[in-house]
A and B are shown apart, each in its own frame.
Chain A
Amino acid sequence: MTTVINLPPSLDDKQFESVFAQLAKAQADARVLLDARHTRWASPLGLTALLTVAQSRHVKPALAVPDADDTVSYWARAGFFRHADALYELHGHVPRARATGDSDVLLEITPVVRSDDVHEVVSRIQERSQAILSKELNLDVRATMGFAMTLSEACQNIVEHAGRGGWVAVQTYTWKQRLGRRVVVIAVCDAGIGFRQSLESGNTARARSDRWDDGMALEEAVIRGVTRFRDPGRGQGLAGIRRYIGRWDGKLSVRSGTARISIVPSWDDDVPLEEGLPQFPGAQMQITIPERVEK
């Protein structure tokens, strides 16, 4: 029997919770069909998380692709089907992949497995992003340089901690609903061991405490810079990301296991910590930097 997972019309980080909730009810070895026929929009996190969903299943899942031509065309330009083709049994019309040239897609969905992949990602983002970040988002040169550094550190979290490969994508778009401004969004997702298990492997003091859970693991790693390594120089990547988003009024959210932690800027009304979410393996990180406006 196949379990049908209905994808929402708008597949962003918040709406994806409904997908995680449906998946949590299905055994990992159950056959599932993700139905995206009515999905009209997906954020970079939505698309990369969809790939990790397939990685988390024991049986190759099926995916009914969006009905809308512009949606499916965008997913193709973002590089989604290039990777989904191997991970999903695809149903519906999939346009042929072609060179993007789409200025909104700063970085097509790219696998991150080894540190060499991080070099490739950083090199590509620098080529494409500088002009767009400065012209469309009014970010100065320091911001564009810091952006590549932030992307590098976010990707290294997969290589160093996930225990398996993941995905990264970067896109700009206008966030009408909340902000009314353009934003650039980095999404980094994996279906690896997640923050809690990674810290447990380092046997940190908190990991031995009674109150240890996914929420506490995220607080330790994201807020306090704790890692599984004893080396005091470790944990600087996430600290650097925090500094960067603080300086440019950005937002960071990281979901892992059953919790999601966010560093929330004044323009957003998200909660700092959500717990008791549906269990999903790995970590899903989203970094949002808004267009700069004169005050």
Chain B
Amino acid sequence: MITHIDLGAMLRRTVCELYSDLVTRPTGAAVRTGIEQQLAELAGRTLTVIDFSRVGLLDFSCADEIVAKLLVRCQGWGGDRPHDAYFLLAGIRDLHIEPIEAVLERRALAVVAQPAAGHPDLLGSADGAERVVWAALDQLGRGTGPEIALVAGMAPADAEPTLESLCDRRVIMRDAAEYIALGAVARP
């Protein structure tokens, strides 16, 4: 199931109709609460596309409150994960990338971002092998471990643990013997 959240509309609904910039922690906390309320109605495996297209500025505090804290809650290892939730950030522009990368790296998190123009990217904290394997799967859309390893130029035995790590970090999905890129799931 794919859920689309227009972050600009969420900002205007939860904080102020006149705002288009995501700045300050209280603003970020209010917007995240709005997202969480929407997610609470969902069950099972979901991909939530958080759309930044109608957001102006994003500062570090707001990026931490919205993106990082949402991921901490939904990608956490603890038992309080609300459901099998995946996230993709859409409509990302250059001015959004720096604060998002900074807050994710601080908390050792990663997320898939689909820029307004261009290919999906893996933002945040990821090592070289994770980035290579993630990019190979993104290129394929979906595939088995050996298929992805071939594109990544790695031995299957090396690629498999990395794929599992990316699944745990919720930046790719697993479906039986295949792995699926979030960008492929979100594409119409």
Residues of A within 8 A of B (CB): 115-116, 118-119, 122-123, 126, 142, 145-146, 148-149, 152-153, 156, 159-160, 232-234, 236-237, 239-240, 243
Chain B 13-38 residues near chain A, CB threshold 8 A: 16, 19, 21, 23-27
Which of B24, B27, B58, B103 meets A233, CB within 8 Å? B103
Cα–Cα, bound, A156→B60 (Å):
11
Cα–Cα, bound, A122→B16 (Å):
15
Interface digits, B93-128 against A, CB 8 Å rule (1 contact, 0 not)?
011001100110011000000000000000000000
Contact stretch, chosen from B45-53, B61-69, B154-162: B61-69
Interface digits, B63-77 against A, CB 8 Å rule (1 contact, 0 not)?
011001100000000
| 11 additional contacts (CB under 8 A) given A119-B24, A156-B61 | A115-B25, A119-B23, A119-B27, A126-B57, A148-B57, A149-B60, A153-B59, A156-B59, A159-B24, A236-B61, A236-B106
Which of A122, A142, A232 meets B23, CB within 8 Å? A122
Cα–Cα, bound, A233→B61 (Å):
8
What are 27 of the A-B contact pairs (CB < 8 Å)? Answer: A115-B24, A116-B16, A118-B24, A119-B24, A122-B21, A122-B57, A123-B21, A126-B56, A145-B95, A149-B23, A152-B57, A153-B60, A156-B24, A156-B25, A156-B59, A156-B61, A232-B106, A233-B65, A233-B68, A236-B60, A236-B103, A236-B106, A237-B59, A237-B60, A239-B60, A240-B60, A240-B102
Q: CB-CB < 8 A to B103: which residues of A?
A: 233, 236
Cα–Cα, bound, A116→B106 (Å):
27
Kindly provide the distance from the CB of B63 to the nearest chain A CB, expressed in whole angstroms: 8
B16 in contact with A119 (CB, 8 Å): yes
Cα–Cα, bound, A119→B27 (Å):
9
Chain B interface residue count, Cβ-Cβ cutoff 8 angstroms:
26
Write the chain B residue with the least CB distance to A236: B60
A240 in contact with B99 (CB, 8 Å): yes
3 tightest Cβ-Cβ pairs between the two chains A and B: A115-B24, A233-B64, A145-B95
Write the chain A residue with the least CB distance to B64: A233
Write the chain A residue with the least CB distance to B21: A122
